[in-house]
C-alpha cells in the first residue's frame, strides 16, 4: 500500500474507513458479514477463494484487539520496530493509519491494497509482495503494541505514558541481548499458515519504510498454550504439556481481573487494552534430554505422560501443595515450576499466555538454538514482574536462559473508521 491509496472504492465500494472498522473495531458477527462484502469484489480472489478466506477469518471483539483471546493459532511472526531518526508525530500517525488499513485487509484474506501484487502499474513495484496470493486468511490476527521508548521527547507523548510502562527490570539469570530486546513498537502476527504470518510482517515492514525499521523479529511454531476449552493442551520442547491452567476466552471475570486494563488504572487511551510481555527463553535441550524422567517430573511438578500434578488427579486437577508421600516428603517439590508459578503462591496473580516454540538452527557448539518465545498479556506490568521474581528459585531455571525481553502497552481496538493508537495521538 502507498500513501496515495484512495479512501473510497476499495474492493467493490467498501471504503478504507469502513474496512478498518470491520476488522479492528467490529463485533465478531459484523466482521464476518463485512468480510464477505469486501471479498466479493476483490481483484485478487475469485468467489471460491473468497469463501475459503471467509472460512478462516479470525473474529474480533468490539473492544479488544484480535490476537489476545483469539483461539491460539499454530504459527507466529513477531517483530519489534524502532521509529527512524528525525521522524515526526505526523509520521507516526500516518504509519499507524497505513498499518491499520493493511492489517484489516490481510486479516480478511485480502492483499494490502486494492491493486495488490499484480493489479498496479507494471512499471512500479507492486503494493503487495504476493507470496500469500491464493492462500486463505488462515485465522490471521495482527496485534499492535507501544513500547516505553515511544514515550520519550520525540513525539510529544511523555504525558500519555502509563505509569507502569517502564523497561522490565533485570531478573536473576537474565542474559539479555539488547539487539533482541525492547522496541518502540511491536506487531504480533499469528496464523495457522506460517506463510500468511510471514507475509503480514513482511508487508507491514515494507509499508513502514522511511518511518520505522525492524529492530528484531522472531518466528514461532507449535503454540504452547490454549485460550479456548476446545483446544487441546499443547506440549513444549521439553515434552511437557504447557498452559493447562491458562485463562480462557470465555472466562470474562478472569479476563477483567487479570488481563484488561480498567479505566481507573491508566490513561484513557489504554482502557480496555492490556500489557504484552515477550521473553525469548533459550532451552538447554541437550542437558534436559539427558535428565532422568523422575527428575524432569520433579522439576516441572507434573507427570510428563498426562500432565497431571504430582499430587494426584488428572491434568486439570488442582495441585495440592500439602500432599506428601509415604515418607512425608511433599509430592510437589517446593522448587517446582508448577508450585512457584501458581496463583496461590503469588497473591492470586494470573496471566494469559500465548507463547510459541522456536528452533533457529544450531549454535556454534552444534546444539539446538531452540526454546520458548514466551508471550503473555496482563493487566499491569507489575503482575508479570511479581511472577518472574517468584521463579528466581525455580528448579527449571537450570535448563533455561532468558536472552531477549520486551514490554509493550497494547491499546484497545480502534473505533470504527479510526486507526490503532488514535486515542493516544488524538487522531
Q: Do 60 and 133 meet the contact criterion of CB atoms below 8 Å apart?
A: no
The pLDDT tens digits for 317-364 are 999 999 999 999 999 999 999 999 999 999 999 999 999 999 999 999
Q: Is residue 6 part of a domain?
A: no
Q: Is residue 90 part of a domain?
A: no
Q: What is the pLDDT of residue 1?
A: 35
Give the C-alpha separation, 420 to 93, whole Å: 9
Query: Among 12-16, 64-68, 76-80, which is the least confidently predicted range?
Result: 12-16
SS3 65: coil
Give the C-alpha separation, 151 to 184, whole Å: 8
* pLDDT over 50 (residue 42): no
Q: Do 174 and 404 meet the contact criterion of CB atoms below 8 Å apart?
A: no
Q: Return the C-alpha cell found at 207.
A: 509499508
DSSP 159-182: GGS-TT-SPPPP-TTB---GGGS-
Q: Is residue 95 part of a domain?
A: no
Q: Do 65 and 411 meet the contact criterion of CB atoms below 8 Å apart?
A: yes
Q: Do 316 and 226 meet the contact criterion of CB atoms below 8 Å apart?
A: no
Q: Return the C-alpha cell found at 226.
A: 490454549
Helix ranges (DSSP H) in 25-143: 28-40, 47-55, 89-106
Looking at the structure of the chain, the number of domains it has is 1
In percent, how much of the chain has pLDDT > 90? 83
Q: Is the dihedral of CA 416, 417, 421, 426 positive or negative?
A: negative
Q: Is residue 67 part of a domain?
A: no
Q: What is the pLDDT of residue 415?
A: 87
Number of neighbouring beta carbons within 10 Å of residue 203? 27
189 phi, psi to nearest 5 deg: -110, 120
Between the CA atoms of 175, 178, 182 and 184, what dihedral angle is there, to the nearest 10 degrees? 170
Stretch (H or E) spanning 287: helix 285-289
Q: Is residue 107 part of a domain?
A: no
Give the C-alpha separation, 389 to 328, whole Å: 29
Residue 348 lies in domain:
148-152+164-181+226-411
Model pTM score: 0.88
Q: Is residue 319 part of a domain?
A: yes
Q: Do 189 and 137 meet the contact criterion of CB atoms below 8 Å apart?
A: no
Q: What is the pLDDT of residue 240?
A: 97
Stretch (H or E) spanning 300: helix 293-300
Task: Output DSSP code: residue 13.
Answer: T
Q: Return the C-alpha cell found at 426.
A: 488524538
The pLDDT tens digits for 45-59 are 334 443 343 345 665
Give the C-alpha separation, 291 to 89, whole Å: 53
Q: What is the pLDDT of residue 34?
A: 32
SS3 26: coil
Q: Is the dihedral of CA 114, 118, 123, 125 positive or negative?
A: positive
Q: E strands of 267-383, at which residues? A: 274-283, 352-353, 356-362, 368-378
306 burial type by CB count under 10 A (0-12 exposed, 13-18 middle, 19+ buried): exposed
Helix ranges (DSSP H) in 7-85: 16-24, 28-40, 47-55
The string over 121-144, giving b where at least 16 C-beta atoms fall within 10 Å of a residue's C-beta and e elsewhere, is eeeeebbbbeebeebbbbbbbbbb
Cell 504509519 belongs to which residue? 95
Cα-to-chain-centroid distance, residue 223: 11
SS3 409: strand
CA-based max dimension of the chain:
79
Q: Is residue 111 part of a domain?
A: no
* pLDDT over 80 (residue 144): yes
Instruction: Give the residue among 115, 376, 133 at the shortest CA–CA distance from 242.
Output: 376
The pLDDT tens digits for 284-298 are 999 999 999 999 999
Q: Do 379 and 274 meet the contact criterion of CB atoms below 8 Å apart?
A: yes
The pLDDT tens digits for 84-134 are 999 999 999 999 999 999 999 999 999 999 999 999 999 999 999 999 999
Q: Is residue 17 part of a domain?
A: no
Stretch (H or E) spanning 191: strand 185-191
SS3 145: strand
Amino acid at each position: 500500500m502507498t500513501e496515495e491509496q484512495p479512501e473510497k472504492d476499495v474492493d467493490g465500494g467498501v471504503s478504507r474507513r469502513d474496512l478498518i472498522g470491520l476488522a479492528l473495531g467490529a463485533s465478531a458477527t459484523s466482521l464476518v458479514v463485512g468480510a464477505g462484502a469486501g471479498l466479493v469484489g476483490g481483484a485478487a480472489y475469485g468467489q471460491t477463494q473468497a469463501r475459503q478466506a471467509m472460512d478462516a477469518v479470525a473474529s474480533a471483539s468490539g473492544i479488544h484487539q484480535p490476537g489476545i483471546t483469539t483461539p491460539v493459532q499454530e504459527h507466529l511472526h513477531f517483530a519489534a520496530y524502532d521509529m527512524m531518526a528525525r521522524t515526526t508525530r505526523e509520521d507516526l500517525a500516518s504509519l499507524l493509519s497505513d498499518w491499520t488499513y493493511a492489517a484489516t485487509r490481510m486479516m480478511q484474506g485480502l492483499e494490502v491494497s486494492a491493486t495488490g501484487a499484480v493489479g498496479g502499474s507494471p512499471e512500479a513495484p507492486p503494493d503487495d509482495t504476493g507470496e500469500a496470493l491464493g492462500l486463505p486468511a488462515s485465522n490471521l490476527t495482527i496485534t499492535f503494541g507501544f513500547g516505553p521508548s515511544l514515550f520519550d521527547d520525540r513525539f510529544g507523548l511523555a504525558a500519555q505514558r502509563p505509569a507502569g510502562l517502564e523497561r522490565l527490570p533485570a531478573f536473576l539469570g537474565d542474559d539479555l541481548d539488547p539487539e533482541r530486546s525492547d522496541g518502540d513498537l511491536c506487531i504480533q502476527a499469528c496464523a495457522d499458515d506460517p506463510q500468511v504470518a510471514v507475509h503480514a510482517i513482511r508487508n507491514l515492514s515494507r509499508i513502514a519504510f522511511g518511518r520505522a525499521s525492524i529492530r528484531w523479529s522472531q518466528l514461532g511454531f507449535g503454540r504452547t498454550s490454549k485460550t479456548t476449552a476446545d483446544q487441546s493442551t499443547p506440549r513444549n520442547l521439553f515434552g511437557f504439556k504447557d498452559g493447562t491452567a491458562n485463562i480462557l476466552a470465555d472466562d470474562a471475570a478472569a479476563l477483567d481481573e487479570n488481563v484488561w486494563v480498567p479505566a481507573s488504572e491508566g490513561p484513557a487511551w489504554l482502557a480496555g487494552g492490556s500489557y504484552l510481555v515477550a521473553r525469548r527463553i533459550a532451552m538447554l535441550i541437550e542437558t534436559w534430554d539427558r535428565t532422568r524422567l523422575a527428575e524432569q517430573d520433579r522439576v516441572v511438578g507434573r507427570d510428563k505422560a498426562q500432565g497431571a500434578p504430582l499430587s494426584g488427579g488428572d491434568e486439570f486437577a488442582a495441585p495440592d501443595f500439602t500432599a506428601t508421600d509415604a515418607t512425608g516428603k511433599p509430592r510437589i517439590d517446593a522448587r517446582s515450576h508448577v508450585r512457584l508459578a501458581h496463583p496461590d503462591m503469588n497473591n492470586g496473580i494470573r496471566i494469559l499466555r500465548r507463547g510459541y516454540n522456536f528452533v533457529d538452527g544450531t549454535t556454534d557448539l552444534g546444539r539446538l538454538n531452540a526454546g520458548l518465545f514466551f508471550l503473555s498479556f496482563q493487566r499491569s506490568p507489575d503482575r508479570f514482574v511479581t511472577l518472574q521474581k517468584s521463579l528466581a528459585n525455580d528448579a527449571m531455571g537450570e535448563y533455561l536462559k532468558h536472552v531477549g525481553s520486551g514490554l509493550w502497552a497494547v491499546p484497545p481496538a480502534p473505533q470504527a473508521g479510526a486507526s490503532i493508537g488514535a486515542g493516544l495521538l488524538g487522531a
